[in-house]
Structure 1
Amino acid sequence: MGIDPALSPHRPNDVVALVTSTDPWSPAATTGVALARQWGSRLTGCYVDPSLRTLSGADAEPTVLGLLIQAWDEDHGERAAFESLARASGVPDAAWAVTHTSVAPTLRQLGAWHDLAVLERDMVEGHALADILGETMLSCRIPCLILPPGWKGEVAFKRVLIAWNGSIESTRALHAALPFLEAAKDVILIDGERLNPEDLTGHPPRFDPITYLMRHRIAVKPHSIGGPHHLSGEKLLQEAVHLHADLLVMGAYGHSRTRERILGGATRHALQHAKIPLLMQH
């Protein structure tokens, strides 16, 4: 640990922030600026109108890229204001866009050329929260930093809790968290994996999270929790509070049914109730 984030080989080169307010700037905008400054990244701010935030991907037109490109000509000073905010904060390379479609297809398109998305959990409220943000995370293919309501905290996360259960989703989330972990003072790993004898033969090589982190010069403290072996969302949030974590890293678990993506229970609970930022990846 102690690696300069700007020199980290794992730092995101392109960060996108889904902005919900320009006056004042919403938490996703200010957090995106802070992370881009910390890592020396390029930054895109994308405004999503309130009328579009509760639409599902199936309700949106498919021509997202064209809408994003078209939106560059629709400017009422926000682009200049965002670029000014970024430059004043030490981010020289910043761009601004406005989308005319819903959150999931917008971020699915932007995710094609960005490495990290910053979102505000309360950009979607009520019963639609888990469905809309779940669809977004399960389809965008990049890690998402999800901020709790009213987030005004620092982006220098010092105590990071990783929830790992042996799944490909949790492994991807751990890998995506490397730039955060390299800058943290304490990294705590909850290993919820339970191996059966048949897991040891006839399968691809196992991923050992502690060995992996040590190879990246990240000191990690294993931590166990009681109760059922599975990592429930409620238990994870309780542990995050108990351990004074300021960032929780976990996989975004889900499955598909006809034209719809459904979040798993742990992901849904953490997404709805976490009081600290979540770094999630499907």
Structure 2
Amino acid sequence: MSIQTSRHVSAGTRPLPTHTPSKFHDVLALGTSTMPWSPALLTAIDIAARWHGNVSGCYVPGCLRELRALDEDPTVLSLLSDTGHEEIAEADAFQTYAKNHGVLHAAWMVTRTAIAPTLRKLGAWHDLAVLERGMVDETRIFDVLGEAMLGSRIPCLVLPPDWNKPVSFKRIVVAWNGSFESTRALRSALPLLQLADEVSLINGHIREPAPAQLSVAQPDPVVYLMHHGIAAKPHYINASADEAGEALLNRVRTEAADLLVMGGYGHSRIRERVLGGATRHVMAYADIPVFMQH
């Protein structure tokens, strides 16, 4: 796999300020198949190789993919997912394949626990995680993958189901509404945004702080991106909270975007996590990769 080399679009004749390119040095992938390698593993290798970085491939056995963190029985599941000597051959094959494609160092592992604790523990050591939305049944997307992303807080690149081609970063749409989550996602995505030919900043309804909260002025996101060598075109959408996800995906299709960057919204309830409406809609219906961070 290869990712197209791209260039920056200047704002008219005004040169962009000099900047130090960002990078993802350590990339994690949660994979669902080996030899052939699943889309998340191939994409993670591709991204890590761009910066001659490191990649960690983690195979998630099928018996563990539908489990929420609170559902598991570690003893039983460990026995069910024991693949024995196959792991050695897979590790050698993965490391060889990754290094042949430009990765500096490759590691291979097989998890013995659910997706959420796996992503939380391994994610703390990585700059980016690549996931496949189709690794869980569509009825469990929010309970399993949503819980994993909200709990780990690592930037995640989520591939749509049946993804079978290289991820392109030529045209990127960034959803930003002034919230902490959307700002973190924008900043975390800088390495990919600096690869793009076109970046569109979709400015939705700005979330105002509660009266009791101390408000502080934020940088202008367009100016911030310009300081990092990215010329973003601002656009505005006016949609209710219930319609925000659909309006965002409609804009993504209009822009013919290759990637959507957005914050992952959610809050805790008793023994469960609940995703916000826009996050749920995008996770359920996006047909392009989504870069998301809580």
Q: Report the Cα distance in structure 1 between the residues aligned to 2:24 and 2:202, rounded to whole angstroms.
A: 25
Identify unmatched segments of 5+ residues in structure 2.
1-5, 9-18
- Alpha carbons 1:164, 1:190 under 8 Å: kept: yes
Match of 1:166 in 2: 178
- Cα 1:165/1:50, change in 2 over 3 Å: same
Q: Report the Cα distance in structure 2 between the residues aligned to 1:182 and 1:72, rounded to whole angstroms.
A: 42
Q: Report the Cα distance in structure 1 between the residues aligned to 2:129 and 2:288, rounded to whole angstroms.
A: 16
Q: How many pairs align? A: 274
Task: Give me the identity figure in percent.
Answer: 52
Residue 219 (str. 1) matches residue 217 (str. 2): no
Give the C-alpha shift of residue 194 in structure 1: 3.3
Match of 2:3 in 1: none
Deviations 1:218-267 (A, max 9, x none): 10000122444887111111111111001000000000001211111110
Match of 2:109 in 1: 97
Q: Report the Cα distance in structure 1 between the residues aligned to 2:21 and 2:144, rounded to whole angstroms.
A: 32
Runs of 4+ in 1 over 3 A off after TM superposition: 60-63, 70-74, 193-199, 226-231
Match of 1:57 in 2: 69
Q: Report the Cα distance in structure 2 between the residues aligned to 1:162 and 1:268, rounded to whole angstroms.
A: 17
Counterpart AA for 1:177: A
Q: Report the Cα distance in structure 2 between the residues aligned to 1:166 and 1:50, rounded to whole angstroms.
A: 39
Counterpart AA for 1:46: C
Give the C-alpha shift of residue 206 in structure 1: 1.7
Residue 207 (str. 1) matches residue 223 (str. 2): no
Residue 12 (str. 1) matches residue 35 (str. 2): no
Counterpart AA for 1:135: E
Deviations 1:76-121 (A, max 9, x none): 4110110111022111300000001010000000011111000000
Q: Report the Cα distance in structure 2 between the residues aligned to 1:281 and 1:18, rounded to whole angstroms.
A: 16
Question: Which residue of 48, 56, 67 corresponds with 2:60?
Answer: 48
Matches within 5 A, 1:8-157: 9-60=21-72, 75-157=87-169
Matches within 5 A, 1:236-251: 236-251=248-263
Q: Report the Cα distance in structure 2 between the residues aligned to 1:198 and 1:82, rounded to whole angstroms.
A: 50
Identify unmatched segments of 5+ residues in structure 1.
none
Match of 1:188 in 2: 200
- Cα 1:104/1:229, change in 2 over 3 Å: closer
Give the C-alpha shift of residue 154 in structure 1: 2.5
Indicate the SS of the match to 2:44.
helix
- Alpha carbons 1:165, 1:231 under 8 Å: kept: no
- Cα 1:196/1:267, change in 2 over 3 Å: closer
